[in-house]
Structure 1
């Protein structure tokens, strides 16, 4: 049987098959000589631009009951050595056919030595928390509640995280059908209603557990689609019914790609992906929104999964999701089996979605011996060492698309920097600039994973400000501060925003605990990439910011400065979006009327709310991302330059008397999360967005 098919949606398999022929040709060419002749890559690390803290379950992976090595000590010890802190069970789509009491999965293969008790024993040996998928497709709420009772009451395993089903949108409701679902009604509303029953039954047994709801991932099928008979998308429907009963939401990410080089760029989608999910949660959960976590319980590059591109993707994606506060990211999977054989960057790729070799063969080509680590295993090892539980990510950026940077500061004052060179052929010199941190002199501790390496190397090389990155490599620097950070004030508490208008917002935060000297003032910093601008300062714990840009997303941090000049680390980030004027001479409503996952039909209603007639108009808006375009439009003249869109009237709709309105529309395309614009101008005047 093909273990790959049970792990991924059929639609994703079709995508992968369509591009398989490009694996060998999809890597951009470069030469080491060319790289050496170019100017150094500028890297900026800003510790005043704080992001999320790394959770104690961030680095995870999946176990599957068809893997006979699930419970072996060798497997557990390898996962422990990689720093794995979350283990998911019983394995992807098998979850919706698995009955834990009998340890059977009708229609599927169950390997010996993979029962629940064996899994938990292995997880304990690894030092990882379990995350368990309750059978939604062919099971019942009572069966799930009995599992909780056995796990946490009878056996006292303390299993905290429970997912309700796996990829249940793949049950045929949207066309593709790979997920078992015996419910006559396969709609998101029915899933949500049953989810409530599961949550009530399971929490009646153990009120301390966390219940997770399956969501679709922004810009990945079937996100955005409203199926026949539904009133809204899967996510909106599920959250509108079940938000009060869940503790986290579940995303899976197998990014669509054209080739190896393309898949490595898809990590740029992560911030907007999580932003949109948080907006959906906030829309339906209200005051509880901040208590609902996000878990990415399946992820894989989908292409070159055993070689260096898989490692580069894994490290970049794990760091990217952790920066956004995702509490676990779980690689698919530990063992999977050989698939399509190819050569990638000079090395054999077995098309195996496991991070450890299964020792299987495909045709005449056999994998290395059982449990030989593949490249993504080493990437997870590096991520675990780079950002440890409790470390707080800070902004890092580069001026070269082929070089990516992430950074995390540690409670003891140290700073770790992860540098990813996505250039398959050229090394890159980097020069690193630090804001809010002064590194100690001398060569830093450096970890490196190079193309084809069988382990992570550790040593001392370069300086804190200059490094050479080998082609297709991961490099981590651990830096000590030039001066001790003892005596500094603690970071201020989580900021909140209130009174947000089109141009103002009031930022408030819990006071910072003083260090050796009293706190003198607080500074409010806005993130603009890896650069911050100070919006103001105050001796209090609240500050109203003025002159903000309407319809703009802001992320801010607060730092404390004491009377001796010592500065705290940055607070956790606060993100808010300004609105548009309550009153204006025009109003605009943009509505996504039909969506198919990478494109949509939109209507734009324009109303003259002023007192003077309009004779000819130009509407302007800017796309929030670089992957959104107007493909075609009607009832107006549509042009796009970069992310800027201009729309001019036609002779039929150019005249708008006071109170008059016109409706126009367009077909939009997107290849990443579709964050809609919220600010529009008409003849230069900022409109009220409805």
Structure 2
């Protein structure tokens, strides 16, 4: 794939070059042949906004690159490069949605606003959007209650095996220290400078025992919109409602008063979606708020072993509600469920899954005659277990690849699952230690935190075209900063052999210096090190990264003459910034 991409890029680019452009390999690049005016060199033209991003770009802002005042002066690696990366700064793939760096909060994290260390980490992470109240809990969550559900909510619900179990409801007005109230969720967003995306309790429309369960549940959701009063623009109706593990999947028809079937279908969800959306939009109009409402889809063709609900889900939802939804929601956990996946398998999933999702959804839109709309991946992570994969440096490297692929494949929104979870012998999807990881302080960031933070800090506001030659192990995601201007590159070595990488910039005149951060794993826990080192600085304890001083780590810097060249260690990421030459 890498070689094919490079050949196609080279043919398209070099066949279109003007005679005044520099020869390949001239890293000063540009149509002005290194002249004094950057306007004749760097002139990006934005393509039309992809429908799958849509209005998620309404909040897009140009990013400014600031040249570091201090740096660690370093000699660029000597000798011939083993890999060449060619970047066309004028070939814009897409503007970068600010909502692709999101995460998930949940109701068992505690009140959050009482945890200053956690709030500072979230502020530095700058995910821009944080989802609540938390996955499947949304099905049993009553935002306006403090200790008891409504009278028409049954004491027991069906589990994934079809057995009735205690309902286990959660409440948005519960202010006890062990849970997260809706008001403290709002305060956390305000204090960390993020937006929210909220999932309303759709399952209540299924298991409610009153005479009009759908209308009652839709009214509850609309009242939440009123209470929210414009603080939240993005709303989801339900969570994985097709799943056998969800409270929406199976109900007792004997206690249902509006003739619903025992097992949910996509068609039924689509019919209910429209009722919810109408009520919620009416509530938004009352408060003068603008809201966007998402419907759930499956992001891959159902396998033969899946339920009939799954096999017909997208057909039912798109046929009934495809034109009523403002955006579409998918979830994906990339690797096989509870498989002890290798590092190579995890890395490959990061490369392949986002593109596979988008191709499938576009095919589904076409098949069912629905106009493509923004796509939100509101839960993603890996399912790999058994070797502490989820808390490893490889998980951080994979997260870096996923972010690049989400941008390239033009998603509108994405939220990784989740901010904190539970240790479970290292099978912990949490970005932070909730307090039960042996030998690690509470809220200690896992490696993925550092990778995702550096990506959103040092990747620009536009993705531009790049091509790699020399090794199929090396990936590049390239960007431009509008203000500066500057180039921001994410270089990833997925292999076990270090590489020397040379950067060739076309339509861009680089300044005399360039700057970078290198992220590598440790030598603990085989290929799944629980540590990450940034420019050589790592954790003081058994896991994570340089939590005490990550904001004080200086970038490496070298002169750009005669080449822009960096060392890319095995299974490592380099975040590279190249300012433009002025004058």
CA contact (8 A) 2:264 2:309 kept: no
CA contact (8 A) 1:216 1:235 kept: yes
Aligned pairs (5 A) from 1:88-237: 88-103=131-146, 106-107=167-168, 112-139=178-205, 142=215, 145-146=218-219, 149-171=222-244, 177-181=245-249, 182=251, 184-207=262-285, 208-218=290-300, 222=302, 228=308, 233-237=312-316
Is 1:360 paired with 2:436?
Answer: yes
Q: Structure 1 length normalisation: TM-score?
A: 0.57
CA contact (8 A) 1:298 1:329 kept: yes
User: What is the rounded CA distance, in whole Å, between the counterparts of 2:557 and 2:430 in structure 1?
Assistant: 32
Hey, what does 2:448 align to over in structure 1?
Answer: 376
Hey, what does 1:469 align to over in structure 2?
Answer: 568
Hey, what does 2:401 align to over in structure 1?
Answer: 316
Hey, what does 2:328 align to over in structure 1?
Answer: 249
Stretches of structure 2 lacking an aligned partner (at least 5 in a row):
1-76, 150-166, 172-176, 206-212, 252-259, 522-530, 534-544
CA contact (8 A) 1:51 1:324 kept: no
Which structure has the larger Rg over C-alpha atoms? 1
SS in 2 for 1:250: strand
- CA 1:233/1:154 → structure 2, altered by over 3 Å: closer, same or farther? closer
Give the C-alpha shift of residue 246 in structure 1. Answer: 0.5
Hey, what does 1:386 align to over in structure 2?
Answer: 458
- CA 1:235/1:58 → structure 2, altered by over 3 Å: closer, same or farther? same
SS in 1 for 2:141: coil
User: What is the rounded CA distance, in whole Å, between the counterparts of 1:81 and 1:396 in structure 2?
Assistant: 28
Give the C-alpha shift of residue 375 in structure 1. Answer: 0.6
Q: Deviations over 1:53-99 (max 9, x none)?
A: 11232211111112225443422321111111111111111111111
- CA 1:38/1:94 → structure 2, altered by over 3 Å: closer, same or farther? farther
- CA 1:439/1:157 → structure 2, altered by over 3 Å: closer, same or farther? same
Query: What do you get for the CA RMSD once the two structures are aligned?
Result: 2.9
User: What is the rounded CA distance, in whole Å, between the counterparts of 2:478 and 2:451 in structure 1?
Assistant: 15
Give the C-alpha shift of residue 449 in structure 1. Answer: 2.2
User: What is the rounded CA distance, in whole Å, between the counterparts of 2:329 and 2:183 in structure 1?
Assistant: 24
User: What is the rounded CA distance, in whole Å, between the counterparts of 1:45 and 1:103 in structure 2?
Assistant: 55
CA contact (8 A) 2:131 2:378 kept: yes
Q: Deviations over 1:465-524 (max 9, x none)?
A: 21101233221111122346xxxxxxxxxxxxxxxxxxxxxxxxxxxxxxxxxxxxxxxx
Q: Deviations over 1:396-421 (max 9, x none)?
A: 23242322110111212311001112
Q: Which has the higher contact order (CA 8 A, sep 6+)?
A: 2
Is 1:460 paired with 2:541?
Answer: no
User: What is the rounded CA distance, in whole Å, between the counterparts of 1:277 and 1:262 in structure 2?
Assistant: 24
* Larger strand fraction of residues: 1
CA contact (8 A) 1:414 1:478 kept: yes
Stretches of structure 1 lacking an aligned partner (at least 5 in a row):
1-34, 172-176, 341-349, 485-690
Q: Deviations over 1:346-386 (max 9, x none)?
A: xxxx221100001215xxxx151110000111111012113
- CA 1:233/1:401 → structure 2, altered by over 3 Å: closer, same or farther? farther
Is 1:445 paired with 2:515?
Answer: yes
Q: Deviations over 1:420-451 (max 9, x none)?
A: 1223x532211122233232222x12123221
Q: Deviations over 1:637-663 (max 9, x none)?
A: xxxxxxxxxxxxxxxxxxxxxxxxxxx
- CA 1:446/1:36 → structure 2, altered by over 3 Å: closer, same or farther? closer
Aligned pairs (5 A) from 1:234-633: 234-257=313-336, 258-269=341-352, 270-284=354-368, 286=370, 288-289=371-372, 292-303=373-384, 304-340=389-425, 350-361=426-437, 366-387=438-459, 391-399=461-469, 400-412=471-483, 413-423=485-495, 425-442=496-513, 444-451=514-521, 452=531, 453=533, 454-455=545-546, 457-462=553-558, 465-483=564-582
Is 1:66 paired with 2:108?
Answer: yes
Give the C-alpha shift of residue 328 in structure 1. Answer: 1.9
* Larger helix fraction of residues: 2
User: What is the rounded CA distance, in whole Å, between the counterparts of 1:338 and 1:252 in structure 2?
Assistant: 22
Give the C-alpha shift of residue 225 in structure 1. Answer: 8.2
- CA 1:410/1:256 → structure 2, altered by over 3 Å: closer, same or farther? same
- CA 1:415/1:143 → structure 2, altered by over 3 Å: closer, same or farther? farther
CA contact (8 A) 1:133 1:162 kept: yes
User: What is the rounded CA distance, in whole Å, between the counterparts of 1:179 and 1:474 in structure 2?
Assistant: 41
